[in-house]
Amino acid sequence: MTSEDLERTCLAFEEEHGIGAFLDAMAAIMQRRLARQGFQVEFFDDEAEQPHQTIETSSQCEQRCLNVTD
């Protein structure tokens, strides 16, 4: 499968199910894929005004924790 094939498949899914369903599916896929690499992934839903999920690497978390004590 080429990247063009993947794009066509994604566009077909979006056309059939809508952009919201496509973005939800992609977010779920990204969350699982990045979790395998040790990243905690969360995304925000602008419409809900509540965090669903945000992206933070362990080094970002460590840096944030270090900044709290400064």
pLDDT, one tens digit per residue, over 20-52 is 999 999 999 999 999 999 988 777 666 655 554
Token pair in block for residue 9: 């498949």
Q: Which residue has the higher pLDDT, 65 or 24?
A: 24
Contact between residue 41 and residue 30 where contact means Cβ atoms under 8 Å apart = yes
Q: What is the pLDDT of residue 64?
A: 53
5 has a pLDDT exceeding 80: yes
The whole-number pLDDT of residue 69 equals 44
Predicted confidence at residue 14, as pLDDT, reads 96
CB-facing half-sphere around the CA of 24: CA atoms within 13 A: 5
